[in-house]
Amino acid sequence: MKIALVGYGKMGEALLSQWRAASPSSFPDYRFVVIDPAAQPTPEGQEGPKGAPVFLNAPPPASDSAFDLVILAVKPQVLDVVAPLYTERLAAGGFVASIAAGSSIARLKSLTGNAPIVRIMPNLPAAIGAGASGLCADPTTDAAQRGMVEALMRAVGSVLWVDDEDQLDRLTAIAGSGPGYVFEIARTYTEAATQLGFSPDAAKQLVLDTLAGTIEMARQSPLSLEDLRESVTSKGGTTAAGLDALNGEGELDRLFRSTLSAAYARAVALR
């Protein structure tokens, strides 16, 4: 199974790193080739730092050079140029997966000779194998093709299939952009902790450990998030006072609704 990863930016590198680190039994016959005109490769075609050959352009045609899967990991602005160059090298029964944000299945099919398409919306924690990815396939993909992409993305975290591209845009607003929201929450939480007298390093440790432990507890608990919140909130106590300041009049609820609505609207505009 020969896979071309076209594009080697932060997300492409993150995904390949996790795929190469996966158990050999996960992808026993997968061979990865990296193609990235913007990369700084080792000598043309030699093995790169992630254990896959790196080329500035597609490797020369040969009897085994057709790709079973082409993964487009380039910026949407260059898809019109890049996609046709490499998808014409698809093997019989080959297909295309794309992580180019905002690039619709219809656009991708027009650029790839009507190849079967799976769109992928990963998020940044995929770099450490803790991502949350959304997948959306066009009707011409078959079960084996969908299964192949799902296996790759499960190697970097959790997977959720959605029925259409509008749902993928909504998922983008939640999970694709979500790490940015969480980093900003952690930043402001840490800054507030320093204002209470902790050093920046101590404040960061306290905040990140609190967030990590709380999230893991929520994962393991059968209780709802509301019940868990109440379990730590004593009437008239410190947590109640803090929560009242945080969301007493629903300010935080409104802010998150506005946040997701703005991100979703932008995803729609990028179609």
Domain 2-175 grouped into CATH 3.40.50.300: no
Placement of tokens 């799902």 in the chain:
150
91 touches 66 (CB < 8 A): yes
Token pair of 222 as six digits: 């059968």
Q: How far is CA 211 from CA 104, 106, 134, 173, 184, in A?
A: 35, 40, 24, 21, 13
User: Residue 78: pLDDT above 60?
Assistant: yes
Mean pLDDT, range 34-46, rounded to an integer: 59
196 touches 171 (CB < 8 A): no
Residue type, 50: K
User: Residue 111: pLDDT above 70?
Assistant: yes
Residue 63: predicted pLDDT: 44
Q: Give per-residue pLDDT as tens, 233-254.
A: 999 999 999 999 999 999 999 9
Report the C-alpha gap between 30 and 67 in whole angstroms.
11
Would you tell me which CATH number, out of the four given (1.10.3730.10, 1.10.10.10, 3.40.50.2300, 3.40.720.10), belongs to the domain 178-269? 1.10.3730.10
Placement of tokens 């924690």 in the chain:
125
Check if 2-175 and 178-269 are the same fold. Answer: no
141 touches 111 (CB < 8 A): no
Band of pLDDT at residue 59, cut at 50, 70 and 90: low
Q: How far is CA 208 from CA 182, 201, 229, 238, in A?
A: 11, 11, 18, 20
Residue 46: predicted pLDDT: 52
**Of the ranges 56-60, 75-79, 86-90, 253-257, which is most confident?**
253-257
Report the C-alpha gap between 263 and 91 in whole angstroms.
37
Where do the structural domains in the chain lie, given as residue ranges? 2-175, 178-269
